[in-house]
Amino acid sequence: MHNESSALLLGKIHARRVRVALYAGGSLLIFMGLSWGLFFITQRLWLMIGIDVLMFVVGLTCLWLTKHNFTRSASFLMLISLFFMLCGMNVFLDIPNSVAPRSLHNFLLFFALYAHFILQGENKWVKYGVPLIFLAAFLVFASSNAGIVTNYVISDQIRIGGTWFNNVIAIIILCMMLYIMQADLSKQNKISRDISVALLDHQFVLYYQPVVDNQGIVFGAEALLRWNHPVRGLVSPSEFIPLAEQSGLIVPLGRWVLHSASQQLALWAKNPLTAHFTLAVNVSTQQFHEVDFVTHVLSSIKKTGANTSKLKIEITESVLIHDMEDVVAKMNELKSAGIGFSLDDFGTGFSSLNYLKRLPLDQIKIDQSFVRDILFKPKDAMIARTIISLGHDLGLVVIAEGVENKNQRDFLIENGCFSFQGFMFSEPLPVKEFERFAKVSLD
Ligand code: C2E
Ligand code: CA
Ligand code: CA
């Protein structure tokens, strides 16, 4: 759930561009409505004036919705009204003849591109379906004389001038779209480049959040990635992990994490005070589905000499959506080498209980969103209780994340959960501070 609520940088950049695109689209509708409307007033063509008033009102409403953060409603209002207005005008008003060609259909082409851009965040049916509908309509109007001649005819003279005007506007929209898309792409490229440089430049570090038992004694840690940015300071993973996933850089980044965590485990193994520590490592879905994921984990362990039984790989339910057979096979292979598995953010995703039985899991983690309101929201308390008893029935260790105060911890203990992680005990810490916290530091 934190993935949804956290400020995802890429999402933010794109959301800003969508707002710009909606402002531009709304302003364009206002401009077109006004200019054509004023012109048709001089011609006393009342139906046309009506259409232009509609265009003006839709444009204004889109600007208002965008300003008040209803960008999704603004997008749909804009696209639906544009589609019907454009098709209507193409069918009834802008019918090509030997004197003047059709021009309004060109807008359908550009708005297909526009729709694809502003619907990036929608599911694939909407993201690709809506532009396809615009393109199909463009194809019909561009390839035929399709139209219904009514007695409401605009003179050829107006249509000749109008064709030039409409096509100039369509070209301006095209340039605007290309500019916005280019800017979007170069921003993404820049961040991806920065991540690659950061990897080579050793700007990533692992922090360790203690995992404690009901006595408050540390028995392990979760490794959490931080980007030590030369200008921005410590950058949170919620900002860069989604970008690393988008660009595929999560694979080398994830390999680095696994390697560093294994190195740390190997170091802890040498000290009797720390040899029993478990270390959990987050593995993203894309990384897990790499063909050589298993080989890579095993080679990291071999190279560093880490004790496999202390390594816990944390996966989320999203790993399980694709090719369950492959997931189970990979997990079994790593499991037979002694590595453990933890199911992270349990209860927030694709919660089919059926898969739980099939996976060789060791732990499940109650997501912090349930723990946060465990004392105030009976539903969250009930979910937490259900997860705990389900975990026990399946013979799994249940860890509660995001425990921030004593009351939450006591509630969890009363309900049978004895392993915790959270700010009540400690934030994620650099390794030396973690060791001091766990009272195992030799310094
Ligand atoms: P996560 O795996 O669910 O990690 C727990 C997050 O909760 C951490 O945020 C941690 O600092 C935070 N947290 C711990 N205790 C508390 C608490 O008591 N209250 C609150 N409000 N928060 C608490 P962090 O370190 O910012 O990491 C965010 C997410 O980034 C992680 O969520 C994980 O999904 C991802 N991540 C971090 N490191 C890695 C990594 O090495 N690889 C991958 N693929 N993802 C990573
Ligand atoms: Ca985790
Ligand atoms: Ca989690």
Atom 45 of ligand 1, residue of closest alpha carbon: 282
pLDDT over 70 percentage in the chain: 95
pLDDT of residue 7: 34
At 301-359, the pLDDT tens digits run 999 999 999 999 999 988 887 788 899 999 999 999 999 999 999 888 766 677 788 89
How many angstroms separate the alpha carbon of residue 224 from the centre of ligand 1? 6
Give the number of the atom of ligand 1 that is nearest the alpha carbon of residue 287. Answer: 44
Atom 25 of ligand 1, residue of closest alpha carbon: 224
Query: How confident is the prediction for the chain on average, in pLDDT?
Result: 90
Read off the pLDDT of each residue in 401-409 and give the average, rounded to a whole number.
97
At 183-195, the pLDDT tens digits run 877 877 888 889 9
Give the pLDDT band (50/70/90) at residue 151: low
pLDDT of residue 391: 93
Atom 32 of ligand 1, residue of closest alpha carbon: 2
How many angstroms separate the alpha carbon of residue 375 from the centre of ligand 1? 22
Radius of gyration of the chain (CA): 29
DSSP 442: -
At 280-298, the pLDDT tens digits run 999 999 999 999 999 999 9
List ligand 1's pocket residues with C-beta within 6 A.
Answer: 2, 209, 224-225, 236-238, 241, 254, 257, 282-284, 344-345, 368, 401-404, 421-423, 428
How many angstroms separate the alpha carbon of residue 280 from the centre of ligand 3? 11
pLDDT of residue 94: 83
At 81-93, the pLDDT tens digits run 999 999 998 888 8
Give the number of the atom of ligand 1 that is nearest the alpha carbon of residue 250. Answer: 44
pLDDT over 90 percentage in the chain: 66
At 215-237, the pLDDT tens digits run 999 999 999 999 999 998 999 99
Give the number of the atom of ligand 1 that is nearest the alpha carbon of residue 424. Answer: 18
Read off the pLDDT of each residue in 74-78 and give the average, rounded to a whole number.
95
Q: For residue 365, give the ligand nearest its CA.
A: 3
Atom 15 of ligand 1, residue of closest alpha carbon: 422
How many angstroms separate the alpha carbon of residue 161 from the centre of ligand 1? 61
End-to-end CA distance of the chain: 38
Select from 293, 286, 185, 291 the least CA-distant residue to 245: 286
- Measure the CA–CA gap between 414 and 391, rounded to whole angstroms: 15
**Six-digit token pair at 211?**
């995992």
How many angstroms separate the alpha carbon of residue 437 from the centre of ligand 2? 20
pLDDT of residue 3: 36
Read off the pLDDT of each residue in 17-35 and give the average, rounded to a whole number.
91
Place of tokens 């300003």: 67
Q: What is the pTM of this model?
A: 0.71
How many angstroms separate the alpha carbon of residue 282 from the centre of ligand 2? 5
How many angstroms separate the alpha carbon of residue 136 from the centre of ligand 1? 45
pLDDT of residue 153: 65
User: Lowest mean pLDDT: which of 23-32, 97-106, 269-278?
Assistant: 97-106
pLDDT of residue 2: 35
- Measure the CA–CA gap between 443 and 440, rounded to whole angstroms: 9
Give the number of the atom of ligand 1 that is nearest the alpha carbon of residue 237. Answer: 30
Neighbours of 372 (CB within 10 A): 18
